[in-house]
Structure 1
Amino acid sequence: MTASQSDQHGEPVSMALLGQRTPALPVAWTDKDVMLYALSVGASQDDPFADLALTTENSRDTALAVLPSFLTVMRTGGRPAAVDRIRTDSLLHAEQHIEILAPIPPSGEGSAWVEVTAVLDKGTGALVTSTTTFQRPDGTVFARSSGTLFVRGAGGFGGPRGTSATPAMPERAPDARVVHRTRPDQALLYRLNGDRNPLHSDPAQARLQGFERPILHGLCTFGFACRGLVTGAAGGDPARLRAMGGRFVKPVFPGEALATEIWQDQPGEVRFRVVDASGAPVFDRGSARIAPA
């Protein structure tokens, strides 16, 4: 295969990806980054003064807090080179998970590295999971963020299939339901966190990829889910949300209303999903861990 053919078709998925990692690179964030992120996932849209703990750093008797899903936009230097060589038009963002091991301050610095932690052969495609580990300057790991890509047409390489044991949502009514409306320009605001993919901003590019207009970033939907969990399961305290994750199943168009539906499993554990106005899941089979008040 020539270099030009490799560029056109991308590298094949194989078990050689497993364990590939980047070096630990510096990571830093400021209170401006934290507040911009909160605004970009809808904080204060319904009531300008309802989310001051997420959107201001100088309100009286209100300390600035960090939405846990902010982890997904912290700059880390990218994925392992072997993952970036997979043909990009064959990739779908399938899952996202975060875990918070220690409080995230409103500003800080440290380092982070990305490692391929799972490669699964699903027959018609492959699942590749990359996990970002964040640590403080003293070496203490404070959080992890894992994203799983589905690579269309990349199956059949002989890797493990994995399990599909994630339980479906309960058939009973949810114990809590939190509704947020996205703005028509939500994707234009969210892209300022760093993801400038024109699929989310350019109508012509969206049509080329089969959409009637630009779609919302999947990780923006994830941020709305995080806000729903903070409100509906963590009593409004972002620090109590210690882990969350699930599957992307349907694109969202900016301007749509999203409802986070939450079921209490057992103390400290909930299941959730996000549905659109028609009731169709857009983020499904979610689970989250909530610390005691």
Structure 2
Amino acid sequence: MPIDPTVAIGSPVGEVEFSWNQSDVLLYHLGIGAGSREGDNLSPDALRYTLDGPALQVLPSFGVVAPTFHMTDPPPLDLPGCDINLAQVVHGSQAISVSAPLPTSGSATIRTTLTDVWDKGKAAVIWQEGVATSPAGEELWRVRSSIFVKGEGGWGGDRGSSQAVEIPDRAADCDVAYDVTPQQALLYRLCGDRNPLHADPDFAKAAGFPAPILHGLCSYGIVLRELTDALLGGDATRVTGFGARFAGVVFPGETIRVQGWHEDGRLVASATVAGGPRDGSPVLADCWVDLA
């Protein structure tokens, strides 16, 4: 069969040595919409994302993309025991935890392992975990992600488990919106994800979408930035972890509504499309932020 869990689970995917600098951080922040609101070019708070110098900070979500930031080819799917193609794959979920605030430049090695394969009947879910370490061997951050592979379930394997993040039954502590620009996906793809699903109209139609969709990790970064600004005073160093499940798609030109709550020492949130014919459509679910 195309996916063999006995081969996949526990297999190392490989290791990647990489480095980043302030220009990479600035491009990433611009790709997730930092500095896009009127007056942001004059705001010290906004410039903490978009101006190089001693005040520059790094959103922890940058650690998810840093290892592949300079790649220009579509993302490979060379996974042990998994014979799948890019058109079958949807990003399922993503989480990152950081050991300390990320520096604006540095180098690291990330080692990634396939940890689980779930059988959802009409699809498979493949989980990976990566650990990024400094040249001195110190853990910098840890990422965990899943991909949803359409048409590859049904072998009678473990269905897996999930733990939903409960949204409080009260008014949100923040309720903000971000207008996705028409060129947002074209800008964000310069952050190392050249999947044609986000740029090529013909490829998107072949995959079942009427037009290219925004990268899930772009929505992921937008939501973390909005929560950080609205509930943490814009202080990215307070974020020690961030995770979410990708619950729906966003098209460039739409608006993402982000609602967030302080709950039990962390943040929980929801993200939906606001306005237009898809008003209320989910974007991110089971969304949480751990705090220092």
Using the size of structure 1 for normalisation, the TM-score is 0.88
C-alpha offsets along residues 27-80 of structure 1, whole Å, 9 cap, x if unaligned? 10011000000000000000223311111113xxx5111111111211259676
C-alpha offsets along residues 82-115 of structure 1, whole Å, 9 cap, x if unaligned? 2663232222111111111122100001211111
Q: Which residue of 2 aligns with 1:11?
A: 2
What is the CA distance between 1:289 and its match in structure 2?
0.6
Is 1:37 aligned to residue 28 of structure 2?
yes
Q: Which residue of 2 aligns with 1:155?
A: 153
1:38-117 alignment runs, 5 A limit: 38-46=29-37, 47-50=40-43, 51-58=46-53, 63-75=55-67, 81-82=79-80, 85-117=83-115
Report the Cα distance in structure 1 between the residues aligned to 2:13 and 2:283, rounded to whole angstroms: 31
The answer on whether the counterparts of 1:247 and 1:283 sit within 8 Å (CA) in structure 2 is yes
Aligned length: 278
Report the Cα distance in structure 1 between the residues aligned to 2:6 and 2:260, rounded to whole angstroms: 36
What is the CA distance between 1:232 and its match in structure 2?
2.5
The answer on whether the counterparts of 1:53 and 1:64 sit within 8 Å (CA) in structure 2 is yes
Is 1:145 aligned to residue 143 of structure 2?
yes
The range that moved more, 171-180 or 242-251, is: 171-180
| Secondary structure of the structure 1 residue equivalent to 2:56 | coil
- 2:188 maps to a residue whose letter is Y
Structure 1 residues 79, 154: CA separation in 2 closer, same or farther (over 3 Å shift)?
closer
Is 1:276 aligned to residue 273 of structure 2?
yes
- 1:48 maps to a residue whose letter is N
- 2:115 maps to a residue whose letter is T
Structure 1 residues 142, 182: CA separation in 2 closer, same or farther (over 3 Å shift)?
same
Report the Cα distance in structure 1 between the residues aligned to 2:195 and 2:123, rounded to whole angstroms: 23
Report the Cα distance in structure 1 between the residues aligned to 2:149 and 2:4, rounded to whole angstroms: 8
What is the CA distance between 1:242 and its match in structure 2?
0.8
Report the Cα distance in structure 1 between the residues aligned to 2:31 and 2:180, rounded to whole angstroms: 10
Report the Cα distance in structure 2 between the residues aligned to 1:241 and 1:193, rounded to whole angstroms: 21
- 1:187 maps to a residue whose letter is A
What is the root-mean-square deviation in Å for CA atoms of aligned residues? 2.0
What is the CA distance between 1:290 and its match in structure 2?
1.4
Structure 1 residues 172, 183: CA separation in 2 closer, same or farther (over 3 Å shift)?
same
Report the Cα distance in structure 2 between the residues aligned to 1:95 and 1:13, rounded to whole angstroms: 21
Report the Cα distance in structure 2 between the residues aligned to 1:203 and 1:159, rounded to whole angstroms: 36
What is the CA distance between 1:145 and its match in structure 2?
1.6
C-alpha offsets along residues 197-232 of structure 1, whole Å, 9 cap, x if unaligned? 222112222222222221111110001011012112
**Structure 2 counterpart of 1:191, from 172, 189, 192:** 189
- 1:95 maps to a residue whose letter is S
What is the CA distance between 1:241 and its match in structure 2?
0.8
The range that moved more, 24-33 or 86-95, is: 86-95
Structure 1 residues 206, 79: CA separation in 2 closer, same or farther (over 3 Å shift)?
closer
What is the CA distance between 1:13 and its match in structure 2?
4.0
Give ranges in structure 2 of 5+ residues lacking alignment. none
The range that moved more, 84-93 or 194-203, is: 84-93
Q: Which residue of 1 aligns with 2:288?
A: 287
The answer on whether the counterparts of 1:15 and 1:119 sit within 8 Å (CA) in structure 2 is no
- 1:25 maps to a residue whose letter is V
Using the size of structure 2 for normalisation, the TM-score is 0.88
C-alpha offsets along residues 139-190 of structure 1, whole Å, 9 cap, x if unaligned? 0111012220112232233432222331442343212122211111001110
